[in-house]
Amino acid sequence: MSKPAIVVSELSKQFNVNTSGANSLKTALLWWKRRQRTEYKVLRGISFDVARGECVAVVGRNGAGKSTLLSLLARVYKPTAGSVSIHGRVAPLLELGAGFHPDLTGLENIYFNSIILGLTRKEVAERVDRIVEFSELRDHVTAPTRTFSSGMLARLGFAIAIHVDAEILLVDEVLAVGDFDFERKCFAKIDEFRANGGTILFVSHNMQAVRRVADRCVWLHQGQIRMIGKPDEVIPLYESTPLDRATPA
């Protein structure tokens, strides 16, 4: 194995939330003295590696920091401390259909989204047919995406992400949108992606899915890593921990 695909070291993320909820200049000027800030430490210094070709699942309760971790990996946030280094092209699937413009047609959105993900126009032109075919949208691709159902948006989003030749996929609980057939097709595509040496990091609450695809499991608890290991070791422990309601939202 060469360099790992993802290296996360001592990663921390803190959000400052203004509790007055004020978002106007007036309130900021008038009440700057009693500005109240609540700090949420969502991630508190976590470190782990993901090797090339590995599939790692992140599990944990709501508010454990899973989505924040993915967003940091997707460079949506900047870390408060620590670092993330990624070797290879990333396709984030944080929300299917994010970044589609409702007034543009499916085809125009294919171009737009693929270019954000790092393809050139020429490269998109080469794969647009495959994307349309995989998404099963057929003639609908020439309609504006505002007329699409959520299932159609999800299919198109997945079809684009899987065809941009990414080396690393970041997936946030999105595979549960299509119908049964499409889900199977997605899993088949993901297996193919992995067989070609692709790396996946995904977040899921679906333990069956985690058992099925993950090589390793990272269990996040209140912004820290509780355990890393094989799914068969981590999941039983994770599922058997009693609910503590003290977890911050």
Partner 1 sequence: MLSELKELWKFRELLLTMVQREIKIRYKNSALGFLWSMLNPLITVLVMSFIFQNFLGNDQVHSATAYILAAYLPFTFFQLCLMDSAQTILIAMPLIKKIYLPREILPIASVISNFIHLLMALLMFFLFMTVVYLVHPGVWPFQWTSIYLPLLLLINLALSLGLSFYISAFNTFYEDIKYLVGVLTYLMFFMCPILYFEERVANSTLNIQWGGRLYMLMNLNPVFALSNAYRKLLIAPIKVPVNGQMVDPLPLDWRYVWWAAFVSVVILVTGYSTFNKLKWRFVERP
Q: Which residues here bind partner 1, judged by CB under 8 A?
A: 15-18, 21-26, 28, 71, 74-78, 92, 94-95, 98-99, 101, 103-104, 108, 111-112, 115-117, 120-121
Nearest C-alpha neighbor of 21 from the set 9, 8, 33, 35: 35
Nearer to partner 1, 94 or 217 (CB): 94
Q: Shortest distance, CB of residue 203 to partner 1, whole angstroms?
A: 14
How far is it, in rounded angstroms, from Cα 170 to Cα 105? 26
How far is it, in rounded angstroms, from Cα 44 to Cα 67? 14
Nearer to partner 1, 119 or 225 (CB): 119
Nearer to partner 1, 121 or 130 (CB): 121
Q: Shortest distance, CB of residue 36 to partner 1, whole angstroms?
A: 12
Q: Shortest distance, CB of residue 73 to partner 1, whole angstroms?
A: 10
Task: Please say whether the beta carbons of 218 and 59 come within 8 A.
Answer: yes
Q: Shortest distance, CB of residue 113 to partner 1, whole angstroms?
A: 8
How far is it, in rounded angstroms, from Cα 106 to Cα 112? 10
How far is it, in rounded angstroms, from Cα 70 to Cα 57? 11
Nearest C-alpha neighbor of 147 from the set 103, 212, 99, 85: 103
Nearer to partner 1, 77 or 187 (CB): 77
Nearer to partner 1, 199 or 221 (CB): 199
How far is it, in rounded angstroms, from Cα 137 to Cα 97? 14
Q: Shortest distance, CB of residue 43 to partner 1, whole angstroms?
A: 14
Can you read off the two tokens belonging to residue 7? 């290296």
Coil/strand/helix, residue 113: helix
How far is it, in rounded angstroms, from Cα 198 to Cα 166? 8
* Residue 9: strand pairing partners: 83
Q: Shortest distance, CB of residue 146 to partner 1, whole angstroms?
A: 11
Nearer to partner 1, 26 or 34 (CB): 26
